[in-house]
């Protein structure tokens, strides 16, 4: 783990601080982000914790999932389509692929404004901790819809302008084998975990190129207590 984060400049004091945790499933994001939240509260800080995928629970996202399920069933089971509906189904699939990603990103922009921008209006000294962030959403859509090369990084830069940039990004990393062992009910095999790990590694490289933030890499295969202590100390030093 990188052990030094520059302290905030005087102009940054008494401002809302945003911290996010990134990593593949099984890396320990939720455990570490909630630990940091609880420890900061215990020290008197005003802290909120947001699981970024809460955004999936909106009514709008539920409607999109229903549409997506219908689209995917038509694509996955073409034998259920008749000749008369095949052309319509293919047209609907093209429309869905064109409009679904921007609609999801717009809904997450709304979610980000509510969770990342608005709290700063009511408590300037608030610390907001995110388990995942918009970067995960862009990565998922890029994978599912096979964005053309370069589009993922352009979207990262766009949303970095639309939403507040986290002051600290903790990148939590573990080998694919460890992630699969921790999340065997969700990650089918080490091969699947390796693919996820590779995609996130590319994402982290893009973030480091395009996002101006304090980025800390954490190897969470070591003693969890030590990792918790170092994350807490780095955060306190920054605050």
Total-model pTM:
0.86
H/E/C letters for each residue in 64-125?
HHHHHHHHHHHHHCHHHCCHHHHHHHHHHHHHHHHHHHHHHHHHHHHHHHHHHHCHHHHCCC
Instruction: Give the residue with greater pLDDT, 134 vs 5.
Output: 134
Residue 216 CB partners (closer than 8 Å, separation 6+): 1, 2, 5, 168, 169, 170, 171, 231, 234
Instruction: Give the residue with greater pLDDT, 60 vs 35.
Output: 35
Residue 95 banded pLDDT, cuts 50, 70, 90: confident
pLDDT at 75 over 50: no
Of 141, 115, 131, 120, the closest CA to residue 52 belongs to 131
Question: What domains lie within the chain, and their CATH numbers?
Answer: 12-238 (3.40.50.300)
Query: Which whole number is the average pLDDT over 84-105?
Result: 75
Residue 192 banded pLDDT, cuts 50, 70, 90: very high
The pLDDT assigned to 56 comes to: 87
């Amino acid at each position: 783990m990188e052990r030094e984060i520059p302290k905030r400049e005087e102009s940054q004091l008494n401002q809302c601080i945003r911290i996010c945790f990134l990593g593949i499933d099984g890396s320990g994001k939720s455990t570490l982000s909630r630990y940091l939240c609880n420890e900061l509260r215990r020290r008197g800080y005003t802290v909120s914790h947001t699981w970024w995928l809460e955004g999936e629970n909106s009514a709008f996202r539920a409607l999109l999932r229903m549409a997506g399920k219908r689209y995917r069933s038509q694509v996955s089971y073409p034998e259920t389509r008749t000749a008369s509906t095949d052309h319509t189904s293919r047209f609907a699939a093209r429309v869905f692929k064109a409009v679904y990603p921007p609609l999801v990103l717009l809904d997450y922009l709304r979610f980000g404004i509510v969770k990342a921008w608005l709290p700063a209006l009511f408590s300037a000294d608030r610390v907001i901790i995110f388990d995942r962030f918009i970067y995960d959403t862009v990565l998922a859509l890029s994978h599912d819809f096979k964005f053309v090369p370069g589009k993922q990084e352009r979207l990262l830069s766009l949303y970095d302008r639309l939403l507040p940039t986290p002051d600290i990004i903790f990148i939590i990393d573990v080998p694919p084998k460890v992630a699969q062992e921790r999340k065997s009910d969700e990650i089918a095999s080490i091969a699947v975990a390796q693919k996820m790990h590779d995609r996130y590694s590319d994402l982290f490289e893009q973030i480091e190129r395009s996002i101006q933030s304090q980025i800390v890499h954490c190897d969470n295969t070591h003693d969890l207590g030590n990792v918790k202590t170092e994350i807490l100390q780095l955060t306190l030093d920054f605050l």
